[in-house]
Amino acid sequence: MEKSITLFIANTADCPDPLLAPEFLATLPAYRQEKICRIIPAEKRIESFAAGLLLQYALKENGVSASTLRVHENGKPAVQGLQFNLSHSQGRVACAAGNCAVGCDVEKIRPVSLKLAEKYFSPEEIMYFRTANEADLAFFQLWTRKESYIKMTGEGLRCPLQSFSAVPDMPVFRDGRPVPAHMQTFQADDFLVSVCTEENAGIRLKYVDLRKRLY
Protein backbone atom coordinates (compact mmCIF):
# COMPACT_ATOMS: atom_id res chain seq x y z
CA MET A 1 0.00 0.00 0.00
CA GLU A 2 1.28 3.45 -0.90
CA LYS A 3 2.14 5.49 2.17
CA SER A 4 0.56 8.92 2.43
CA ILE A 5 0.24 11.68 5.02
CA THR A 6 -1.93 14.77 5.16
CA LEU A 7 -0.49 17.70 7.06
CA PHE A 8 -3.30 19.85 8.43
CA ILE A 9 -2.26 23.38 9.46
CA ALA A 10 -4.37 25.99 11.24
CA ASN A 11 -4.12 29.43 12.83
CA THR A 12 -5.34 29.72 16.42
CA ALA A 13 -5.98 33.47 16.31
CA ASP A 14 -9.74 33.09 15.90
CA CYS A 15 -10.17 30.47 18.62
CA PRO A 16 -11.69 31.65 21.93
CA ASP A 17 -10.30 30.80 25.33
CA PRO A 18 -12.04 27.44 25.93
CA LEU A 19 -12.62 28.28 29.60
CA LEU A 20 -14.77 31.19 28.42
CA ALA A 21 -16.56 29.04 25.84
CA PRO A 22 -17.52 25.81 27.66
CA GLU A 23 -19.98 24.87 24.91
CA PHE A 24 -17.05 24.55 22.49
CA LEU A 25 -14.78 22.84 25.01
CA ALA A 26 -17.48 20.21 25.56
CA THR A 27 -17.18 19.08 21.93
CA LEU A 28 -13.74 17.59 22.67
CA PRO A 29 -13.02 14.22 24.31
CA ALA A 30 -12.82 14.18 28.11
CA TYR A 31 -9.05 13.56 28.20
CA ARG A 32 -8.43 16.65 26.05
CA GLN A 33 -10.81 18.77 28.12
CA GLU A 34 -8.99 17.78 31.30
CA LYS A 35 -5.61 18.56 29.74
CA ILE A 36 -6.78 21.97 28.52
CA CYS A 37 -8.25 22.96 31.87
CA ARG A 38 -4.92 22.28 33.60
CA ILE A 39 -3.08 24.77 31.37
CA ILE A 40 -2.68 28.18 33.00
CA PRO A 41 -1.37 30.57 30.29
CA ALA A 42 -4.36 31.47 28.11
CA GLU A 43 -2.40 31.37 24.84
CA LYS A 44 -1.17 27.83 25.56
CA ARG A 45 -4.68 26.78 26.57
CA ILE A 46 -6.06 28.10 23.29
CA GLU A 47 -3.35 26.25 21.34
CA SER A 48 -4.22 22.97 23.04
CA PHE A 49 -7.90 23.59 22.34
CA ALA A 50 -7.11 24.30 18.68
CA ALA A 51 -5.05 21.10 18.50
CA GLY A 52 -8.05 19.13 19.72
CA LEU A 53 -10.29 20.74 17.10
CA LEU A 54 -7.77 20.09 14.35
CA LEU A 55 -7.40 16.45 15.37
CA GLN A 56 -11.17 15.97 15.22
CA TYR A 57 -11.15 17.47 11.75
CA ALA A 58 -8.28 15.18 10.67
CA LEU A 59 -10.08 12.11 12.00
CA LYS A 60 -13.26 13.03 10.12
CA GLU A 61 -11.31 13.65 6.91
CA ASN A 62 -9.87 10.15 7.20
CA GLY A 63 -13.23 8.54 7.87
CA VAL A 64 -12.42 7.78 11.51
CA SER A 65 -14.90 8.39 14.32
CA ALA A 66 -13.55 10.47 17.19
CA SER A 67 -15.44 8.14 19.54
CA THR A 68 -12.92 5.38 18.72
CA LEU A 69 -10.02 7.41 20.08
CA ARG A 70 -8.31 5.86 23.12
CA VAL A 71 -5.57 7.15 25.40
CA HIS A 72 -2.68 4.79 26.19
CA GLU A 73 -1.07 4.48 29.61
CA ASN A 74 1.71 6.83 28.44
CA GLY A 75 -0.94 9.51 27.83
CA LYS A 76 -0.70 9.34 24.05
CA PRO A 77 -4.02 9.21 22.15
CA ALA A 78 -4.46 6.73 19.30
CA VAL A 79 -7.09 5.30 16.98
CA GLN A 80 -7.07 2.03 15.08
CA GLY A 81 -6.14 2.31 11.43
CA LEU A 82 -4.69 5.84 11.52
CA GLN A 83 -1.36 7.23 12.66
CA PHE A 84 -1.25 10.88 13.72
CA ASN A 85 0.78 13.46 15.58
CA LEU A 86 0.05 16.97 16.86
CA SER A 87 2.19 20.06 17.39
CA HIS A 88 1.50 23.70 18.24
CA SER A 89 3.59 26.84 18.71
CA GLN A 90 2.80 30.53 19.14
CA GLY A 91 -0.47 30.64 17.24
CA ARG A 92 -0.05 27.76 14.81
CA VAL A 93 -1.18 24.17 15.16
CA ALA A 94 -0.31 21.20 12.97
CA CYS A 95 -1.64 17.65 12.71
CA ALA A 96 0.01 15.02 10.51
CA ALA A 97 -2.20 11.99 9.86
CA GLY A 98 -1.96 8.99 7.56
CA ASN A 99 -1.20 5.31 7.15
CA CYS A 100 2.37 5.15 8.49
CA ALA A 101 4.29 6.13 11.61
CA VAL A 102 4.61 9.91 11.68
CA GLY A 103 5.83 12.80 13.80
CA CYS A 104 5.51 16.53 13.18
CA ASP A 105 6.72 19.76 14.73
CA VAL A 106 5.81 23.39 14.07
CA GLU A 107 7.89 26.35 15.28
CA LYS A 108 7.92 30.08 14.72
CA ILE A 109 11.18 31.34 13.22
CA ARG A 110 12.84 33.68 15.70
CA PRO A 111 16.35 34.82 16.70
CA VAL A 112 18.61 32.13 18.16
CA SER A 113 22.22 31.85 19.27
CA LEU A 114 25.14 29.60 18.41
CA LYS A 115 25.28 28.65 22.09
CA LEU A 116 21.78 27.16 21.84
CA ALA A 117 22.71 25.23 18.69
CA GLU A 118 25.81 23.83 20.36
CA LYS A 119 23.71 22.62 23.29
CA TYR A 120 21.34 20.49 21.20
CA PHE A 121 22.84 19.82 17.77
CA SER A 122 25.25 17.21 16.43
CA PRO A 123 28.60 18.37 14.96
CA GLU A 124 27.17 18.03 11.42
CA GLU A 125 24.17 20.14 12.34
CA ILE A 126 26.32 22.80 14.01
CA MET A 127 28.33 23.07 10.79
CA TYR A 128 25.12 23.41 8.77
CA PHE A 129 23.93 26.15 11.15
CA ARG A 130 27.28 28.00 11.11
CA THR A 131 27.50 28.11 7.31
CA ALA A 132 23.84 28.94 6.57
CA ASN A 133 22.97 32.25 4.94
CA GLU A 134 19.94 32.57 7.23
CA ALA A 135 20.99 31.22 10.62
CA ASP A 136 17.59 31.51 12.31
CA LEU A 137 15.86 29.68 9.45
CA ALA A 138 18.55 26.97 9.49
CA PHE A 139 18.19 26.52 13.24
CA PHE A 140 14.46 25.84 13.03
CA GLN A 141 14.87 23.64 9.98
CA LEU A 142 17.09 21.44 12.12
CA TRP A 143 15.03 21.81 15.29
CA THR A 144 11.69 20.88 13.73
CA ARG A 145 13.25 17.95 11.88
CA LYS A 146 14.79 16.62 15.09
CA GLU A 147 11.56 17.06 17.05
CA SER A 148 9.55 15.34 14.32
CA TYR A 149 11.94 12.37 14.43
CA ILE A 150 11.77 11.77 18.19
CA LYS A 151 7.97 12.15 18.04
CA MET A 152 7.78 9.67 15.15
CA THR A 153 9.80 7.08 17.08
CA GLY A 154 7.80 7.74 20.25
CA GLU A 155 10.96 8.28 22.29
CA GLY A 156 10.55 11.98 22.87
CA LEU A 157 13.38 13.53 24.86
CA ARG A 158 14.47 10.08 26.06
CA CYS A 159 16.42 10.19 22.79
CA PRO A 160 19.34 12.62 23.28
CA LEU A 161 19.10 15.31 20.60
CA GLN A 162 22.84 15.24 19.96
CA SER A 163 22.76 11.49 19.26
CA PHE A 164 21.44 11.92 15.72
CA SER A 165 21.83 14.24 12.78
CA ALA A 166 18.95 15.53 10.64
CA VAL A 167 20.66 17.87 8.18
CA PRO A 168 18.39 18.77 5.22
CA ASP A 169 19.02 16.80 2.00
CA MET A 170 21.03 14.21 3.92
CA PRO A 171 20.08 10.80 5.38
CA VAL A 172 19.31 10.81 9.09
CA PHE A 173 22.25 9.38 11.03
CA ARG A 174 21.99 8.12 14.60
CA ASP A 175 25.02 6.96 16.54
CA GLY A 176 26.93 7.00 13.26
CA ARG A 177 24.48 4.84 11.27
CA PRO A 178 21.66 5.75 8.86
CA VAL A 179 18.18 5.11 10.24
CA PRO A 180 14.77 4.76 8.52
CA ALA A 181 13.49 8.33 8.64
CA HIS A 182 12.15 10.45 5.80
CA MET A 183 11.71 14.16 6.46
CA GLN A 184 10.04 17.04 4.69
CA THR A 185 9.93 20.66 5.84
CA PHE A 186 7.39 23.29 4.83
CA GLN A 187 7.34 27.03 5.45
CA ALA A 188 4.12 28.98 6.10
CA ASP A 189 4.73 32.67 6.68
CA ASP A 190 7.24 32.86 9.54
CA PHE A 191 6.62 29.29 10.70
CA LEU A 192 8.30 26.01 9.76
CA VAL A 193 6.65 22.61 9.94
CA SER A 194 8.62 19.37 9.58
CA VAL A 195 7.14 15.92 9.10
CA CYS A 196 9.04 12.67 9.68
CA THR A 197 7.86 9.25 8.51
CA GLU A 198 9.47 5.88 8.99
CA GLU A 199 8.76 5.02 5.35
CA ASN A 200 8.86 7.29 2.32
CA ALA A 201 5.41 8.85 2.06
CA GLY A 202 3.69 11.44 -0.06
CA ILE A 203 2.65 14.47 1.99
CA ARG A 204 -0.32 16.68 1.16
CA LEU A 205 -0.85 20.06 2.85
CA LYS A 206 -4.29 21.26 3.88
CA TYR A 207 -4.97 24.59 5.58
CA VAL A 208 -7.97 24.55 7.93
CA ASP A 209 -10.07 27.52 9.07
CA LEU A 210 -10.90 26.65 12.67
CA ARG A 211 -13.63 29.29 12.79
CA LYS A 212 -15.71 27.00 10.58
CA ARG A 213 -15.27 24.27 13.17
CA LEU A 214 -16.86 26.48 15.82
CA TYR A 215 -19.40 28.81 14.27
pLDDT score for 105 = 98
pLDDT category at 75 given cuts 50, 70, 90 is low
Residue 73 reports pLDDT greater than 80: no
pLDDT category at 16 given cuts 50, 70, 90 is very high
Closest CA to 51 of 64, 36, 62: 36
Of residues 158 and 193, the one with the higher pLDDT is 193
pLDDT category at 108 given cuts 50, 70, 90 is very high
* 38-62: pLDDT as tens digits: 999 999 999 999 999 999 999 999 9
> In this structure, how many other beta carbons lie within 10 angstroms of the beta carbon of residue 215?
7
Task: Give dist(CA 121, CA 141) in Å, integer.
Answer: 12
Helix (H/G/I), strand (E/B), else coil: 198:
coil
Domains and CATH numbers, the chain: 1-100+199-215 (3.90.470.20), 102-197 (3.90.470.20)
What sign has the CA pseudo-torsion 47, 119, 164, 201? positive
Residue 54 in contact with residue 10, Cβ under 8 Å? yes
Of residues 71 and 43, the one with the higher pLDDT is 43
Residue 208 reports pLDDT greater than 70: yes
Name the β-bridge partners of 87.
94
